[in-house]
């Protein structure tokens, strides 16, 4: 772990297992609540000392620039970390574990330079005064990062917090700590003061929960399941912490009857199969007009047969393994549930067989047809390569089905008539709606969910708002006691 600018070990270990081979490729320290307390104490000291929070924004941005340069110089290494830790196919790892994080890092560095840290108010009032509003750092910010996209989500938790002058404690998932620990070393070498950024490991139920409840933590940013997000919100409420929650999803992907089918078929596969479906904003419910249903499913399953599932180090591989045996068995349980509820397996439905699949955590890309929106596979987040196809007869019915969920993270619309697609998009209850695309998470656009998919937003032009507090300062301009409002309480002095 990295605490107070130092590497800190522990007596216990995690074994890090390759999802593709089940081989132990590294070990990592297993932290406990004592390490969490030490990290918060280090972050608190750094914040109180004020070296980082009082560093001018342009200088903070320069530190972030040096981090960007260092990660760029190690692209191949971070790509390999993604393949080994997460099972990303190699070309996907290069994008998800290097390309996107770098773009988002640069966005936060640029925001640090341009953000309105202070803005003037008007000259106002019955009592002549002027005002200004300052954006100031909150204090100790905790980021809790899941295993599916460990580096890019670590960037979302870390860079805006540091850009705003806060101190950070990052709690990484025990299965994927390597990239964040490498980033700790890079931040230190780039000139970040000791204690401003700390990385701890540990089980979520103990270390993560302890950090959320810690009285010296002022902000928690959590990405994970909706069930855990509810508990984070409850625990954070005891000390009225600011929270950002990016939680689960069950993205509806609506194909309209005038869609470009070639693009929509490939896009719908991309929507549910990126990282073997292990993305909260995946398009896992495919809504097809009855008139196109059979043709679309035929095209989709034919295209799936061309994809290579296998060794993530093979450049030809399209789909890698899922993260763990627990994850694999959970997904297979949902597939069995879909069969029992009466849905039809149009493709996949099990684990791939043959050479290369003897070890590793594999699930076939699986497509169900004949799905009703009240089925378990259509309502619960499976977090795997499983697609539920639902037929509809009118656009109004499609919108009703799409919104009939506790989630509201992502949605998509496919149409060659953009104004028509925009009209449908405006009716969808989702934080991100993609038209003729999916997974296009731009650093310039806010990302987060409606309903039980979360609270707050990451990325976008306002990304630093949730990591700052507003302070209103009012300056009297009268220069005289008798022109202020004191007479509302204080009577005329006896000798006046």
Which residues participate in catalysis according to the annotation? 246, 280
Q: Tokens 């938790």, residue?
A: 157
How do beta strands 242-246 and 454-455 pair? antiparallel
Q: Which two tokens stand for residue 35?
A: 């390490």
Instruction: Confirm if 90 and 138 have CB atoms less than 8 A apart.
Output: no
d(CA 326, CA 212): 25
Instruction: Confirm if 301 and 344 have CB atoms less than 8 A apart.
Output: no
E strands, 115-267, in order: 118-124, 129-137, 140-144, 167-171, 197-200, 219-223, 242-246, 252-255
What kind and span of H or E run contains 232?
helix 226-237
How do beta strands 366-369 and 344-347 pair? antiparallel
d(CA 414, CA 268): 9
Q: Tokens 């398009």, residue?
A: 283
Q: Which two tokens stand for residue 86?
A: 């997460």
- 3-state secondary structure (DSSP) of residue 119: strand
Alpha helices in 341-429 (DSSP H): 376-379, 395-403, 418-425
Output the CA angle 72-78-82, nearest 5 degrees. Answer: 145
Alpha helices in 21-99 (DSSP H): 33-49, 57-73, 75-86, 90-94
DSSP class per residue in 174-204: TT--HHHHHHHHHHHHHTPPTTSEEEE---I
- 3-state secondary structure (DSSP) of residue 328: helix
User: Residue 289's beta-bridge partner residues?
Assistant: 392
d(CA 446, CA 104): 12
Instruction: Confirm if 152 and 101 have CB atoms less than 8 A apart.
Output: yes
d(CA 213, CA 220): 10
Alpha helices in 87-144 (DSSP H): 90-94, 100-114
d(CA 87, CA 73): 22
Instruction: Confirm if 384 and 363 have CB atoms less than 8 A apart.
Output: yes
What kind and span of H or E run contains 226?
helix 226-237
d(CA 210, CA 198): 15
CA 256 to chain CA mean position, Å: 29
């Amino acid at each position: 772990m990295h605490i107070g600018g130092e590497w800190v070990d522990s007596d216990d270990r995690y074994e890090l297992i390759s999802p593709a081979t089940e081989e132990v490729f590294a070990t990592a320290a297993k932290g406990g609540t004592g390490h969490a307390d030490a990290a918060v104490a280090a972050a608190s000291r750094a914040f109180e000392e004020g070296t980082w929070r009082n560093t001018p924004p342009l200088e903070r941005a320069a530190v972030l620039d040096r981090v960007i340069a260092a990660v760029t110089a190690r692209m191949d290494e971070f790509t390999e970390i993604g393949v080994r830790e997460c099972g990303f196919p190699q070309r996907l790892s290069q994008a998800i574990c290097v390309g996107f994080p770098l773009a988002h890092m640069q966005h936060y560095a640029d925001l640090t330079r341009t953000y309105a840290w202070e803005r003037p108010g008007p000259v106002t009032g019955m009592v002549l005064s002027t005002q200004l509003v300052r954006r100031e750092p909150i204090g100790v910010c905790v980021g809790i990062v899941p295993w599916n996209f460990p580096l890019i989500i670590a960037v979302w938790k870390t860079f805006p917090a540091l850009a705003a002058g806060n101190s950070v404690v990052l709690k990484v998932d025990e299965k994927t700590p390597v990239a964040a620990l490498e980033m700790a070393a890079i931040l230190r070498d780039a000139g970040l003061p000791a204690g401003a950024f700390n990385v701890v490991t540990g089980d979520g139920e103990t270390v993560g929960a302890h950090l959320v409840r810690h009285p010296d933590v002022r902000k928690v940013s959590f990405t994970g399941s909706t069930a855990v997000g509810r508990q984070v919100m409850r625990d954070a409420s005891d000390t009225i912490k600011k929270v950002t929650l990016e939680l689960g999803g069950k993205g509806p992907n609506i194909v309209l009857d005038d869609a470009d089918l070639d693009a929509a078929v490939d896009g719908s596969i991309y929507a549910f199969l990126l990282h073997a479906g292990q993305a909260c904003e995946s398009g896992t419910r495919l809504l097809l007009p009855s008139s196109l249903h059979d043709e679309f499913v035929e095209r989709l399953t034919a295209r799936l047969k061309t994809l290579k599932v296998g060794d993530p180090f093979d450049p030809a591989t399209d789909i890698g393994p899922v993260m763990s045996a627990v994850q694999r068995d959970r997904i297979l349980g949902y597939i069995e549930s879909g069969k029992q509820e009466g849905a039809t397996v149009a493709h996949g439905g099990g684990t791939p067989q043959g050479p290369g699949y003897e070890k590793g955590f594999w699930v076939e890309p699986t497509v169900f047809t004949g799905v009703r929106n009240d089925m378990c596979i259509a309502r619960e987040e499976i977090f795997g390569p499983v697609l539920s196809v639902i037929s509809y007869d009118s656009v109004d019915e499609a919108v009703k089905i799409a919104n009939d969920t506790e989630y509201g993270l992502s949605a998509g619309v496919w149409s060659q008539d953009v104004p028509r697609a925009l009209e449908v998009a405006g009716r969808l209850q989702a934080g991100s709606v993609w038209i003729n695309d999916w997974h296009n998470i731009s650093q310039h656009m806010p990302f987060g969910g409606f309903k039980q998919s979360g609270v707050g937003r990451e990325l976008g032009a306002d990304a630093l708002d949730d990591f700052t507090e507003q302070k209103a300062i009012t300056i009297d301009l009268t220069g005289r006691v008798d022109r202020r409002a004191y007479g509302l309480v204080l009577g005329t002095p006896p000798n006046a």
